Structure 1
Amino acid sequence: MVTAKARAVNGPDQNFRETEVTRRELDTTDVLIEIKFAGICHSDIHTAHGEWGEVNYPLIPGHEIAGIVSDIGENVTKYKVGDRVGVGCMVDSCGECENCREGEEQYCLKGNIPTYAGTDKYGEPTQGGYSTHIVVTEEFVLSIPDSIGLDEAAPLLCAGITTFSPLNHWNAGPGKKVAVVGMGGLGHMAVKIAHAMGAEVTVLSRTLNKKEDGLQFGAKSYFATSDEDTFTELAGTFDLIINTVSAKIDLNAYLSLLALNGSLVNVGAPAEPLEVNAFSLIPHRRSFAGSLIGGIRETQDMLNFCAEHNIAPNIEIISADDIDHAYKRVLDSDVKYRFVIDISTM
């Protein structure tokens, strides 16, 4: 077993503290990863603050993990010591249900095992990537292409796949008009990926403060949703809208921006319920949907796609001592566009 240095939180109103976590002995198909970088996701904050339900504290968050293989089980065939690898939002699933067999492990009918705040197949609580090491079964480890730096790769394991998957599923590409709601950690990745897929991209953000960035990332247009004229001007425009905002918004106003057969897909996960008027959907055969990360195969496809198209998140590297301050800055929308923890500071 490996004893890893980590940062944990003991309650919804507590600051992070130094701690240690014992990682399990390697099973025959397990991979031991020395973590180099871990991204900070808004999901980490929701969970640490207890906003998505009861949490079994102490909690070590982190599901945007990039590092190096430091040991392997005797039957591991996909990886060897020294390989550059990543781990995303889940570390296992039943592997037997229809969804798992289709490569959609995120929708495992028995429930996938999340990287943190879950219970693994050994009955132990899962603890995430704000730590120096993690043990994961090889089937849930991703290969990071050489052209992507490990620091930039970390956010791709959540923010990247969370936006890639719906864009891929709803066929964003040439001839499609795609709007991205929000220009944060998820939103800026959605813009870059949709543009690389060939779609015409528009950003819908509360203000125009990040307009220059949005256009640089590949957006053709950028509108402020605080301006009521935006919803009049863009009515019936988009084939697909990706909502990345983790707060309650007026979904009916955004649904009015969809063209015939258009879809609004939620990837942001606010704690509050969202309300949809049926007549926002019926008249133009519009759809309101959700999307949860991606399966392991699709996540690897995303990493390869980002390598091929030179796509990387815009990141700010922080030390482990700065996690609490980074959480505050995320809540204040004061980050461009993803915090990444340098695990060597753990």
Structure 2
Amino acid sequence: MIKAYAAFEPKGELKPFEYDPGELKPMEVEIDVHYCGICHSDLSVIDSEWGESTYPVVAGHEVVGKISQVGSHVRYLKVGQIVGLGWHAGYCNKCSLCHAGDNNLCANAQATIVGHYGGFADKVRAASNSVVPIPDGIDLESAGPLFCGGSTVFNPLLQFDIKPTDKVAVIGIGGLGHMALKFLNAWGCEVTAFTSTGSKKKEALSLGAHHTLNSRDKNEIKSAAGRFDYILSTVNVKLDWNLYLSTLSPRGRLHFVGATLDPLDIGVFSLISAQRSVSGSPVGSPATVAKMLDFANLHQIKPEIEKFKFTDINKAIERLRSGEARYRVVLCR
């Protein structure tokens, strides 16, 4: 039996829950969960904000742990190996995207916490090709958030060939944004943070930003007209996107990794006149996650975390809901 913490209704308190996972499949591994980050996506699934949740929900998709079992057909992972598991716990392995290594874009990928029990538990199971070994040198306590938030902000650096000479701005200096600042700084970019408060300005500079702009001052934003090659939005709220588009240089890109639920109100003329683009991307593929871990290890990049015991999981969730966490919440066994 696997012992977990589950939500039984939207916004409900998590309670102890046990389930029998059955026989381990040939291409699966079972992981003893040592650490698990709590992401806003966990809250969205717990609260059924996306309409995909079935209860009981066992969330948790920023897992770090040790392999305790491997399926009979697993060859490249072994018992005792330290690994991580992110948003996906499996893929179809049949489509052209899976064959090309773009498993994260597979239309039939298995989410770790939707229709599957996740890492708010003592163990979790997943397809072996969704699990990524963690290299020596990575701080394991803080590694969990790299498998979701870290992967999400690192993925565009590869997908859109961001160059060290590019001027890049980040909207939202929170769980995603603070890692984006660290990665972009180490990548070599000139980094600007859009911040809403004076205290966040100082923090943004300490996290890797070279400049800041007050996101509540329209005139200050207008003063940056045509400045950025790339803007990364990590927020889940509606903003004046046309104002932000005006700060892009010709051929600049406004890219979304924050899941705002409101439709984008964008004037097409701003795109056409300067050949600007608007795009979005999910978490990275397992191959991208592995590259991200190597890059983080090389530059000693790790998320800023607050630690809670698994037994204090409801306190940890409330801390994340408060919006005061700096910057990721991690459960520790």
TM-score category by the smaller chain?
Answer: over 0.9
Q: Report the residue type matching 1:74 in the other structure.
A: S
Residue 7 of structure 1 is matched in structure 2 by 5
Cα displacement (A) at 1:76: 1.7
Residue 121 of structure 1 is matched in structure 2 by none
Secondary structure at the aligned position of 1:303 is classed as helix
98, 109, 114: which is aligned to 2:111?
114
Determine the C-alpha separation between the residues in 2 that align with 1:197 and 1:241.
15
Residue 139 of structure 1 is matched in structure 2 by 129
Residues 332 and 235 of structure 1, relative CA distance in 2, 3 Å threshold: farther
Determine the C-alpha separation between the residues in 2 that align with 1:261 and 1:175.
15
Cα displacement (A) at 1:321: 4.1
The answer to whether the aligner puts 1:41 opposite 2:39 as a matched pair is: yes
Q: How do residues 260-299 of structure 1 correspond to structure 2 at under 5 angstroms? A: 260-299=250-289
Secondary structure at the aligned position of 1:172 is classed as coil
Deviation per CA, 1:59-118: give whole Å up to 9, x if none.
Answer: 011111100011212222111111110101001111121111111111114x21100113
Determine the C-alpha separation between the residues in 1 that align with 2:48 and 2:311.
21
Deviation per CA, 1:24-52: give whole Å up to 9, x if none.
Answer: 32222221110101101111111111111
Determine the C-alpha separation between the residues in 2 that align with 1:43 and 1:307.
25
Secondary structure at the aligned position of 1:196 is classed as helix
The answer to whether the aligner puts 1:65 opposite 2:63 as a matched pair is: yes
User: Is 327-336 or 153-162 further displaced after alignment?
Assistant: 327-336
The answer to whether the 8 A contact 1:208-1:222 is kept is: no
Determine the C-alpha separation between the residues in 2 that align with 1:136 and 1:327.
24
TM-score by length of 1: 0.92
Deviation per CA, 1:255-281: give whole Å up to 9, x if none.
Answer: 111110000110000233332221231
312, 326, 342: which is aligned to 2:316?
326
Determine the C-alpha separation between the residues in 1 that align with 2:23 and 2:220.
56
140, 144, 150: which is aligned to 1:150?
140
Cα displacement (A) at 1:329: 3.3
Residues 331 and 228 of structure 1, relative CA distance in 2, 3 Å threshold: farther
The count of corresponding residues between Structure 1 and Structure 2 is 333
The answer to whether the 8 A contact 2:33-2:121 is kept is: yes
Residues 324 and 223 of structure 1, relative CA distance in 2, 3 Å threshold: farther
Secondary structure at the aligned position of 1:94 is classed as coil
TM-score by length of 2: 0.96
Determine the C-alpha separation between the residues in 1 that align with 2:231 and 2:19.
41
Cα displacement (A) at 1:188: 0.6
Residues 330 and 97 of structure 1, relative CA distance in 2, 3 Å threshold: same
Determine the C-alpha separation between the residues in 2 that align with 1:238 and 1:18.
48
Residue 218 of structure 1 is matched in structure 2 by 208
Following TM superposition, the consecutive aligned residue runs of length 4 or more in structure 1 with deviations greater than 3 angstroms are 321-329
The answer to whether the 8 A contact 1:23-1:134 is kept is: no
241, 257, 261: which is aligned to 2:231?
241
Secondary structure at the aligned position of 1:209 is classed as helix
The answer to whether the 8 A contact 2:61-2:119 is kept is: yes
What are structure 2's unaligned runs of at least 5 residues?
none
Residues 150 and 137 of structure 1, relative CA distance in 2, 3 Å threshold: same
Determine the C-alpha separation between the residues in 2 that align with 1:270 and 1:101.
30
295, 299, 304: which is aligned to 1:314?
304
232, 236, 251: which is aligned to 2:222?
232
What are structure 1's unaligned runs of at least 5 residues?
119-125
Cα RMSD (Å): 1.4
26, 29, 49: which is aligned to 1:31?
29
